Structure 1
């Protein structure tokens, strides 16, 4: 007789819950410990500077969090000396006198140090000071005025029909828009003349114009406005009034019509308009980075084609208005313009440094900007360039970070390198098995290398750039006080993914009272957005969200599966038009393999939590992967990519909007959901339209599915805040540990 797999799994869970009942996980004590984790771990790692600051080519300072209190250290790289930046006791006394209140020398919070004319200039959080280096007298010189910055909304559309006149570099003329057309006049003059005559209300000129360096030519572009799309929500409980407020935001979604821009060239002295053919930049997602050549011979701009499969650098000849693509990048899947694009125009040269994944990894190329031909590939190998840190034009050298160059290291660990424009003299500046953060001296003669891993305490050393040799040991972090709390170091775990070859990396977090004789359900913390990779690589004492959840009686894991970034192009392309994949085939294998190694990890009781794109994945775990996942908490999820922001979703799901969108939708497939689901959403979320969560809930109700819905009044894009965290913990304890959570009154009482 065939047994329904779901019924069999339920019977196994029941029997296991009876067997595990004596282990008493999810108790009041577990909750109280989880609540105390942040305080318990805080300030328990010493000799771990967060920043280093160069004063000149040879000297730098840093603030060290020593066990005895805050230290300000001055280092001279040339003489290899390290000493107190100043007399801490004297400084505290002089600050106390200047501020007329007691300043503790071990708790001074000072920054922005610089030395000018025998004066040490610095500040705290509200005042600026100077100290005479001879008399040591400290004086307050100014207050720090901090303007309250209003929250900048990511989706705000630039107004192309508003703007000030644009003054020419020589100051003789200003260009402005009148009646949708381009006009020129002398500043403070009534006399004006019209340059364009083809602008109108539906296809008007933008005031975002650009003069040539010699003030003889002008680039302006016409705009045909696209569709306006707003999302609306009700703020139920505003602080300043009793009645609710209706709010709205600009919010383009996949498939919406976008603005079309048409660059035009004007020879100002001749009052001549040279139209520019649009065939190279039709179907626009956007035009960016308009700039004139230094010699006034042309202007360039970048074109991102709708669908993100073509990206061009286009040059417009200033004599005749002819347009040509000098860089023409294409991909059968997508071009990661938001995460990997890099362009550097070499001053005084007809050269462009450009990043491309055309050979399967993100690498740098040197282009001839006149011919559009590749002069040479600069970097190469089965590893990606992660970021260009600096370009030394004079010495024709590039400083950059890369990862995946060492077979015996985690392929996500950042390393620093340098290379010449012609691809020669490739130099590894870091090689230690860690995630590196480098700070160069202004002249690049020295650099500070601070490195760590999640399972390796931080270390900072000073090195010489030419030899990469260590000049001085600076600080080595002490974690003894942290370990004394019972803290367990996260473990890095790797295994082959779905293809049996590609390594998948993640971390395992255990509770402080970990007992290998117990059985622990597994909870995965997921974020699978294709724009990056997300498993931490540097040492942290906390991982608060993961550690606090683990304290309740769980093993918590985080994994980067296929479809995320910072590996090969093929690894990344798994996400293409298939966000529901979210690396789940790799994640399930990873957890199963970890459970084989560690039998206390129960791969039959697996939960998952995530926010935003992670919320979509958490919901998708029970919609598309309920053969493995049992419990999910999805916060502010984009449960249907047609409902979310245009730029992020068309980047990975493609354009035009086709059946692939419905195929990845939790809403469309809500009837497939199995397991226990909690949805959390902020009622005024303007990052992911909250209607996405509500539509998922509606589809689940219509499909007869049981679930929990938590709506947070007044909250924006959030994992849930304090209330959501409580609900999430209780949900996992109830459905994975199969015990009733203690009351909140007991947990949170003083």
Structure 2
């Protein structure tokens, strides 16, 4: 009996294990994951090599560079034979090698005693002589000159490293400005304005009312006739500072406390007011500036050529009113030339102004008809003389104003029905609204570089699903002069790499087309089921889905290769569509276009059943970090896992200039409604928070306040707080942790052990 019992127990144990395995297989089958899809260390090692995909794209023209005022340009070409610099004559498309790489590499090797490979020269930019006989380049901290004709390499100056110092301009710092006729020198000193008669070396005081916190600054501008001086007077305030703890400094054992100037929404701001002085009479001309004190900023924008007036631009606090004003030099009278107003926000970061004929007319960009377009404004009365561009599309940027021919060169998107509305085209139009021409008609995203005289243009065009090409066009009509070699991706395709797909579907209203891109793994199998991960950045200051061809999308490509389908979408609330499309973000950053994104993903999954909408994850940086966490607060019936990197989780905690633009001023309940902190109690799903202790773009306390709120609400989450890290979080350790998180939460697997 004992023996029989032992056998029974043994069989029962083996059966239990087999049953468990079968259940596990069933669970994997039900979730769409097959056993063979187990992620391994080899997979992790392989995704570290995906950047090599870029090296398997040949003949993609890097930014061409025109040589002086000639019709020649050079560009670097990555080819199977190596990287080649080409010299091109735009007039006929004739292409020759800019130099013999073997000769130059040999000369460099002789000069330094170190082997230099001709296939991969250690520089990517050259400065060609206008006569094309030679060029300069930078290598190992020095400038070198190479004579192509004589095959001679000469060492030149040492290149000093550029110092990029980002700090608040100090308006109180003394500045001296000479008058156009050279007779006077104006300067700010002891909070006031002085002028010095240069010939007599005699000083005169122009103001006496400047004090410590209400002083005349160094921002000043002389009238062309040297008789008047415009100055900015500043009512100053101490700016908010945020503390940053460098916990693990290299220089010492103990932590270091750092401080950053960092104004936040609702803070009191400095006030900048125009002031005017008559130099001949040594007197100040009074200006009534009371209306302009409620400001986000005010800046001088120059004098009229005949010295009759100077202008300034005023952005009212809250960004709902933007004024271009003119100050009459003799009387000090102020009148508005342009008064742009909006019940939501004026998109001031995309303003454009160009004064014609000394202010007789003004070119201005506005969304007053619901789309961003160009207007010709009467400089005398501020009335619209001509709406220059019209239609359900947007002007992106003004490239050039040709006053002589009264033409405007600009970029636009959304020109063609059915085309991706974010694709950029280069256009020209007359100031009377006639003669519109699309110089780059191909359905693609265009990047153009014009010759100095604009007679020729090099046009590189592509789409995420189209490698594209490069052509030389005439600037007059866009006609093609010559084509450069097509982009070659045959070798890339042989690796199994999958072409991204541009996909569009209806948004929340059932009418508006929402556009995005789908990325699939190189080992893609349509019979399998894949979890979906969205890469999100819904910052309203722009649209964000890449529109050029790319072989490698960094983290998105890496996630694909681990077994995910990755999507990128521009939902409502972002820029470069209609004003109504953009306004969705107004006092509502928590929206982030989620109703459109969810509708888009569902539509894609309906067409492609291998996209599993029961396993949808999301990740994002900065504003995208705020968005990613918001997905699990406000849309946790759809999104199941999120990684929020250096997120701005409460718009009251973030920088003033970005957040007040979209959330408004004064601070109201909408800030709380959109706050991830105040809504942390809503969390459902798996959340991973990552940020750095030295982030001076988004206050690190923003993430820590979310952590506090989650703890108080009894919520489960993961956190990675990185010593010595700033706003840039893309290192190998962080990426590995992010990979592990999605593998565990969406593939339902234990990630492989770290090597």
**TM-score under structure 1 length normalisation:** 0.94
* Superposed CA offset, 1:627-677 (max 9, x none): 111101101111110000000000000000000000000110111110110
State the distance in 1 between where 2:305 and 2:27 align. Answer: 74
Matched, 1:64 2:77: yes
Per the alignment, residue 699 of structure 1 pairs with 709
* Superposed CA offset, 1:341-390 (max 9, x none): 11112355622211101111111111222332222111111100011112
Matched, 1:587 2:594: no
Pairs within 5 Å for 1:459-478: 459-478=469-488
Per the alignment, residue 261 of structure 1 pairs with 272
Matched, 1:331 2:346: no
Pairs within 5 Å for 1:544-563: 544-563=554-573
State the distance in 2 between where 1:403 and 1:444 align. Answer: 21
Pairs within 5 Å for 1:238-637: 238-338=249-349, 340-346=350-356, 348=358, 350-637=360-647
* Superposed CA offset, 1:489-548 (max 9, x none): 111111000000000011111111111111111111000000001111100110011010
Per the alignment, residue 51 of structure 1 pairs with 63
**Greater shift in the superposed pair: 706-715 or 206-215:** 206-215
State the distance in 1 between where 2:678 and 2:616 align. Answer: 24
**Greater shift in the superposed pair: 500-509 or 227-236:** 227-236
State the distance in 2 between where 1:202 and 1:74 align. Answer: 58
* Superposed CA offset, 1:693-719 (max 9, x none): 000000000001010110010000033
Contact 1:555–1:601 (8 Å) recurs in 2 = yes
State the distance in 2 between where 1:632 and 1:496 align. Answer: 25
Contact 1:681–1:718 (8 Å) recurs in 2 = no
> Which of 147, 153, 158 does residue 161 from structure 2 map onto?
147
> Which of 36, 43, 58 does residue 30 from structure 1 map onto?
43
State the distance in 2 between where 1:672 and 1:80 align. Answer: 62
- Tell me the SS of whatever aligns to 1:31: helix
Contact 2:143–2:159 (8 Å) recurs in 1 = no
Q: How many Å apart are 1:212 and its aligned residue?
A: 1.1
Q: How many Å apart are 1:739 and its aligned residue?
A: 1.1
State the distance in 2 between where 1:230 and 1:509 align. Answer: 42
- Tell me the SS of whatever aligns to 1:124: strand
Contact 1:110–1:122 (8 Å) recurs in 2 = no
* Superposed CA offset, 1:134-160 (max 9, x none): 5x242415124132424x44xx43222
Consecutive unaligned residues in structure 2, runs of 5 or more: 1-23
Contact 1:712–1:720 (8 Å) recurs in 2 = no
State the distance in 1 between where 2:359 and 2:284 align. Answer: 29
**Greater shift in the superposed pair: 394-403 or 522-531:** 394-403
Matched, 1:20 2:33: yes
Q: How many Å apart are 1:223 and its aligned residue?
A: 1.0
Matched, 1:128 2:143: yes
State the distance in 1 between where 2:135 and 2:467 align. Answer: 33
- Tell me the SS of whatever aligns to 1:255: coil
Task: Identify if the C-alpha distance between structure 1 residues 118 and 542 changes in structure 2 by more than 3 Å, giving closer, same or farther.
Answer: closer
**Greater shift in the superposed pair: 711-720 or 50-59:** 50-59
Per the alignment, residue 113 of structure 1 pairs with 127
* Superposed CA offset, 1:80-135 (max 9, x none): 4222223444444444445555443332336333335674232133443445565x
Pairs within 5 Å for 1:217-236: 217-236=228-247
Task: Identify if the C-alpha distance between structure 1 residues 490 and 18 changes in structure 2 by more than 3 Å, giving closer, same or farther.
Answer: closer
> Which of 645, 653, 657 does residue 647 from structure 1 map onto?
657
* Superposed CA offset, 1:672-701 (max 9, x none): 110110100101110000100000000000
Contact 1:317–1:323 (8 Å) recurs in 2 = yes
State the distance in 2 between where 1:553 and 1:739 align. Answer: 11
Per the alignment, residue 176 of structure 2 pairs with 165
Root mean square deviation of aligned Cα: 2.0
Task: Identify if the C-alpha distance between structure 1 residues 478 and 240 changes in structure 2 by more than 3 Å, giving closer, same or farther.
Answer: same
* Superposed CA offset, 1:385-407 (max 9, x none): 01111222222221111000111
Matched, 1:75 2:75: no
Contact 2:585–2:592 (8 Å) recurs in 1 = yes
Q: How many Å apart are 1:235 and its aligned residue?
A: 0.6
Per the alignment, residue 41 of structure 1 pairs with 53
- Tell me the SS of whatever aligns to 2:288: coil
- Tell me the SS of whatever aligns to 1:643: coil
State the distance in 2 between where 1:699 and 1:96 align. Answer: 62
Task: Identify if the C-alpha distance between structure 1 residues 294 and 727 changes in structure 2 by more than 3 Å, giving closer, same or farther.
Answer: same
Pairs within 5 Å for 1:677-692: 677-692=687-702
Task: Identify if the C-alpha distance between structure 1 residues 589 and 407 changes in structure 2 by more than 3 Å, giving closer, same or farther.
Answer: same
* Superposed CA offset, 1:456-513 (max 9, x none): 0130011123342211111211011111222111111110000000000111111111
- Tell me the SS of whatever aligns to 1:450: strand
Task: Identify if the C-alpha distance between structure 1 residues 730 and 688 changes in structure 2 by more than 3 Å, giving closer, same or farther.
Answer: same
Task: Identify if the C-alpha distance between structure 1 residues 419 and 104 changes in structure 2 by more than 3 Å, giving closer, same or farther.
Answer: same
**Greater shift in the superposed pair: 507-516 or 247-256:** 507-516
Task: Identify if the C-alpha distance between structure 1 residues 139 and 41 changes in structure 2 by more than 3 Å, giving closer, same or farther.
Answer: closer
**Greater shift in the superposed pair: 431-440 or 218-227:** 218-227
State the distance in 2 between where 1:117 and 1:678 align. Answer: 58
Task: Identify if the C-alpha distance between structure 1 residues 131 and 616 changes in structure 2 by more than 3 Å, giving closer, same or farther.
Answer: closer
State the distance in 1 between where 2:340 and 2:195 align. Answer: 37
Pairs within 5 Å for 1:705-744: 705-744=715-754
State the distance in 1 between where 2:448 and 2:73 align. Answer: 13
**Greater shift in the superposed pair: 17-26 or 631-640:** 17-26
Corresponding pairs, count: 728
Q: How many Å apart are 1:268 and its aligned residue?
A: 0.5
Task: Identify if the C-alpha distance between structure 1 residues 272 and 495 changes in structure 2 by more than 3 Å, giving closer, same or farther.
Answer: same
* Superposed CA offset, 1:51-104 (max 9, x none): 112223422222211211122222222244222223444444444445555443
Contact 2:28–2:34 (8 Å) recurs in 1 = no
- Tell me the SS of whatever aligns to 1:332: coil
State the distance in 2 between where 1:128 and 1:453 align. Answer: 37
> Which of 637, 661, 672 does residue 662 from structure 1 map onto?
672
Task: Identify if the C-alpha distance between structure 1 residues 378 and 514 changes in structure 2 by more than 3 Å, giving closer, same or farther.
Answer: same
* Superposed CA offset, 1:419-466 (max 9, x none): 112222111101111100111122111211110001101300111233
